[in-house]
Structures are given as C-alpha cells and as structure tokens.
Amino acid sequence: MEDFVTKKTTTPHVVIFPLPIQGPVNCMLKLAHLILSLSRATVSVTFLTTTSIHNRLVRHSNAAARLVHSYPNFRFETVSDGLVEHDDGDAQGALKLVESTIALERQAQEEGSKLRAVLGHGSAEPELMTPVTCVLADGFYGCMVDVAKELRVPLVYIETISPCGLWTYLCVPNMVRARDLPFQDDEEGLDASITSVPGMETYLRRRDLPSFCHAYDPNNPVIQLVLKEAQEFPKAQGHILNTFDELEGDYFAHIRALCPNLYNIGPLHLNLKSRIQQETTKSISNSLWQEDRSCLAWLDAQPPKSVLFVSIGSLASMTKDQLMEIWHGLINSKSRFLWVRRPGSIINKDEDTSQDDLEMIPDDLVEGTKKRGCIVSWAPQEEVLAHGAIGGFLTHCGWNSTLESIVEGVPMICWPFYVDQQVNSRVVSEVWKIGLDMNKDNCTRVVVEELIKELMETRRDEFSKRADKMAKLAAQAVAEDGSSYNSLNHLIDDIVSMRFSI
C-alpha cells in the first residue's frame, strides 16, 4: 500500500456522498458540520447529492444556506439520477431509492461523467477542481471501492443503517451457504430461528430479517446491492458507524474481523449538539419536507409523558386499511397522540386525509382526534422527541429515529417495514428491552390499542427506567473522553493528516 499523502496535495478535501433520501442526507450533513467545525475549517468539504434532493433542501431546510454561509470551504455539488424530479415523495419511495442508487452507481463508473469528476476533483468545472483526499460514501454504494481505487482516492464508508442491521446484511452470503436462505414465507415458519448470524443466534428469527430476505431472489436488484456491499465491505479504508460502544459493542468484534478500522461516532446528532454550542445548532433543520412547528405549541399544553408520537419516517407507506386500524387503535387507547402523516405516505389514497378534510372519517375518530390528537404532515422530530410531553414513540424503527428515541429516553412501539428496520425492532424489544415489537402484518386496531396501553400505562415505569439508563449511556459516549467523543477525534485527525492508505 502506498501512503496517500505522498500522492496528493497537503490540503485535505473530503467529498461526502449520501444516498438521496432523508435519513442519510440528514446524518451526513451533521457529519459535514462536525468535520468543518472540529478541523477548524482546515478541511474542504464537497457535499454531493442529486438535483432533486438539493432543491428540496433549499426549499425546506436552512442547513444548506447556514453551512455555505458559515464555511467558505463548504460547497454543494449536484448530479441527476435520471429519475423524474419530484418534491415530496410518494408511496413508491423505496423502489425509487433502488432505481436512483443503481443510476448513480452507473454514473460513478462511467468515464467522463460529472459524478466521477466530482468524486475525483470535487467538481466538473475546471476552475473549481482541487484534488480529493478522501471520499465518505454511503455503504450501500458497493461500486465505490472500485471507483475510488481507479481515482486513487481513499474511501471510507458511512454506514447509515444500524450496526446490528449491517451485520445481518454482511451475513447474507453466510445465510445462503447455511441454507437459512431462502425459506418459505408462511406464518408458521416465520418464527424459526436463524443460526447463521454470529452473535444473534439466541433471538434472531426469519421474520426479523430484512424484507428482501422474505422473497429471496438472487437476481433482485436489492439483493444484488446487498451482496455487492458484503463483498466490498473489507476493501474500504474504514467505516463510520452511527452508534456507540455501550449500545452495540457486541457486534463490533464481528464487524472488525472484516475491517478493523471502525469509527463509532454516534449518536451523531447528539455528538453535534455536545461538540458545537447548542445555540448554533438548535434551529438548524436538514428536513426535506416543510416542518409544521405548530405541533410544538400543542405539546406545550399536554401533561408530562402523556403523548404518543407516531411517525413511519421518510420512505415507508401504509394502506388505507392500515391507516384506519392505526387510527382506531389510537382513539380506542384513550392516549394523547401526535401523528405525522407524510405527504404521499398512504398507498392508493385518493385525497389527503388531514385535519382539514375529515368529513369522510367516522365520527368517533373525528371527535377523538379533536379531544386528544394532533395530526401534521411533517414535524421537527428531534425537538418533538426531546419534549417533556412525549411518553412513547410508535415508529418504523429506522436507525435515525431509533437513535433519536434512545437519546431522549423515549420507549418505542416498533412497526418495521424494510431495510434494517425488522432487525432494529427485534433488538429494541429483545436485547435492549426498551420497546415493543409489533408484527407489521398484524396491524389491527385491537393490537395497536393493546400495545399503546402496555407502553404508556401498564409497563410505563419499567420501560422508562431502562430507556433513561440507555439515554445516560448515550450522553456519556459523546461527553469528553467518551467512546464516541474519542472516535470522532480519531476520524477528524485521520482526515486532516490524511493517514488513509490506498
């Protein structure tokens, strides 16, 4: 291996390349902020994303303008993913993500493409080109190992899913060899144990595997991306994990056996708050949707720990029937609730069902919502979960949402959809024991009501005590000399000194 510093300029220049969706973009913008601040602006950062994502950031977020204004050595670069531009997403979000990822990978491998020029020089414009000293790319871009090698640029992957979910992904080839995959996706067989994922033998079931495993097809584009990620994982110069040792240290030994250079810097949003003065970050939004901040005033009027926050994130969708079952369960539980219903999140819904058009909704749901509920199209989630009125979170269990809930000590009802969410849900309920796992296919009003009452009433103190303990561990990890504090320092030092090798 040649030392990278002998091949490049002495000015560090990082390109950050997220998947074009809310979670990774939010996470990596926070990382960009930390790199710029902690390196005292000695590192130049180019944030590379799609035109549609950038347009939405400009429309709905103040992070883009704030970073550009605060750091002259920060800039955005955009490329098209070849898909039809859209504003607020729709129920086909997961499919579009796969299509977008494949399109971007194709461009990255194409000689002379704008994307490839940005990865190697930070821009396709000759007057703006400067050598890139490191690419920080989402781990789902499996092609980046070969692209970075051809460009002679070190690659560090940012894993925006959970390490427990990541470890499951990396074990897919092992599961196939052990004949844990494929399996028949029938209800009786879904509770069978999966024994070919080291460290998870005692609790992982078929139903806890990512959804693409339930109809395993080696030719499925998602499976192809996952298999590519598993193959290329050991070849990167390092991996950044948005977690902390005290939460997921059990998985690190397995992952380090594949790539020893891990940077465990999470919870990333808490690291940002603790390392940079709170007043400079509290009003920064990385949202791709317009946030309705009126919900915070509504929360101010509610008793402590009395409100269940409900949100299925930026990609998941539900059917009309699921919508009504969730709604009936919420009303029947008699719990107060704040419900985020993202535009386009209801499959085959003819018209938006917001608080302004409840005429077609049963009277009991209308009256119950007026008495105890608040429905918004998008919310400032970190602020909501930090609010004293929140007592629980009904979540899709995406990794950002899970970490944000852990940081604030909020117990969860997990209703997972895909990616790492099924694994996260199982670990939340069976390993960390800070929430309840709801079978996605068993979303009836009776089940929803029972789980809400269990979380918010009968086992409230039990869950709160464990969640509070986890929140304290997260705070300790990002405090001075904590595990994530030190790991972040290590990452910044390696970026500044360009210690990576190629």
Q: Is residue 425 scored above 50 in pLDDT?
A: yes
CA dihedral over 168, 160, 34, 232, signed as positive or negative:
positive
Predicted local confidence at residue 5, as pLDDT: 41
**Cβ contacts of 189-198, under 8 Å, gap ≥ 24:** 196/171, 197/167, 197/168, 197/171, 198/171, 198/254
Task: Please spell the DSSP secondary structure of 128-140, one letter per residue.
Answer: G-----EEEEETT
Average pLDDT over residues 290-294: 92
pLDDT tens per residue across span 366-406 = 999 999 999 999 999 999 999 999 999 999 999 999 999 99
Range with the lowest mean pLDDT among 5-19, 114-128, 252-266, 446-460?
Answer: 5-19
Q: Which residues pair with 311 in a beta bridge?
A: 395
Binning pLDDT at 50, 70 and 90, where does residue 277 land?
Answer: low
Tokens of 421: 């969410």
Strand boundaries in 174-306, DSSP class E: 238-241, 262-264
The pLDDT mean for the chain works out to: 88
Whole-number Å distance between alpha carbons of 485 and 55: 33
Whole-number Å distance between alpha carbons of 442 and 346: 18
Predicted local confidence at residue 102, as pLDDT: 86
Predicted local confidence at residue 440, as pLDDT: 67
Q: Residue 384 in contact with residue 309, Cβ under 8 Å?
A: yes
Whole-number Å distance between alpha carbons of 192 and 189: 6
Range with the lowest mean pLDDT among 78-82, 92-96, 114-118?
Answer: 92-96
Q: Which residues pair with 138 in a beta bridge?
A: 158
Q: Is residue 358 scored above 70 in pLDDT?
A: no
Amino acid letter, residue 261: N
128 vs 3: which has the higher pLDDT: 128
pLDDT tens per residue across span 227-269 = 888 899 999 999 999 999 999 888 888 999 999 999 999 999 9
Q: Residue 171 in contact with residue 196, Cβ under 8 Å?
A: yes
Amino acid letter, residue 462: E
Predicted local confidence at residue 274, as pLDDT: 92
Binning pLDDT at 50, 70 and 90, where does residue 213 land?
Answer: confident
Whole-number Å distance between alpha carbons of 77 and 48: 5
pTM of structure: 0.92
pLDDT tens per residue across span 146-202 = 999 999 999 999 999 999 999 999 999 999 999 999 887 676 688 899 999 999 999
Predicted local confidence at residue 436, as pLDDT: 97
Q: Residue 449 in contact with residue 333, Cβ under 8 Å?
A: yes
Q: Is residue 79 scored above 60 in pLDDT?
A: yes
Tokens of 127: 């007057």
Q: Residue 93 in contact with residue 315, Cβ under 8 Å?
A: yes
Strand, coil or helix: what is 47? strand
Whole-number Å distance between alpha carbons of 59 and 395: 26
Binning pLDDT at 50, 70 and 90, where does residue 3 land?
Answer: very low
HSE (side-chain half, CA atoms, 13 Å) at 151: 29
Domains of the chain are 4-284+478-497 (3.40.50.2000), 294-458 (3.40.50.2000)
161 vs 349: which has the higher pLDDT: 161
